[in-house]
Amino acid sequence: MSKLLRKPNLKETSPGVTIVHEVTSENSSLEYVGFKVIDLTPGSTYTEELAKVECCIVALTGKINVSDHEQAFKNIGTRESVFEKKPTDSVYVSNDRSFEVEAVSQARVALCYSPSFKQLPTMLIKAEDNGIENRGKYSNKRLVHNILPDSNPSANNLLVVEVFTESGNWSSYPPHKHDQDNLPNESFLEESYYHEMNPRQGFVFQRVYTDDRSIDETMAVENGDVVLVPAGYHPVGVPDGYESYYLNVMAGPTRIWKFHNEPAHEWILNRK
Ligand X SMILES: O=C[C@H](O)[C@@H](O)[C@H](O)CC(=O)O
251 near ligand X, rule: CB under 6 A: no
Report which DSSP code applies to 98: E
Distance CA 8, CA 23 (A): 11
Q: What DSSP string runs through 112-136? A: EEEE--S----EEE-GGGSEEEEE-
Distance CA 142, CA 63 (A): 26
163 near ligand X, rule: CB under 6 A: yes
171 near ligand X, rule: CB under 6 A: yes
Q: State which residue, 62 or 232, has the beta carbon closest to ligand X.
A: 232
Q: What DSSP string runs through 192-249? A: EEEEEEESTT-EEEEEEE-TT-SSEEEEEEETT-EEEESSSB--EE--TT-EEEEEEE
Which of 28, 44, 172, 192 binds ligand X (CB under 6 A)? It is: 172
Distance CA 90, CA 81 (A): 15
Which of 6, 63, 234, 260 binds ligand X (CB under 6 A)? It is: 234
Which of 6, 36, 97, 142 binds ligand X (CB under 6 A)? It is: 142
Q: State which residue, 4 or 101, has the beta carbon closest to ligand X.
A: 4
What's the one-letter identity of residue 61? T
φ, ψ (nearest 5 deg) of residue 41? -85, 155
Which of 74, 86, 135, 137 binds ligand X (CB under 6 A)? It is: 135
Which neighbouring-strand residues pair with 35? 23, 112
Q: Least distance from C-beta 33 to ligand X, angstroms? A: 12
Residues 6 or more apart whose CB falls under 8 angstroms from that of 158 comprise 54, 55, 56, 92, 112, 113, 114, 116, 148, 249, 250, 251, 255
Q: Which residue is nearest to ligand X (CB)?
A: 171
Which of 161, 197, 226, 247 binds ligand X (CB under 6 A)? It is: 161
Q: State which residue, 50 or 163, has the beta carbon closest to ligand X.
A: 163
Tell me the site size for ligand X, rule CB under 6 A.
Answer: 11
Q: Tell me, residue by residue from 188 to 227, as one string, x for binding to ligand X by CB under 6 A and - for no binding.
A: ---x------------------------------------
Q: Least distance from C-beta 49 to ligand X, angstroms? A: 30
* Contact residues for ligand X, defined by CB under 6 A: 135, 142, 144, 161, 163, 171-172, 191, 234, 248, 259
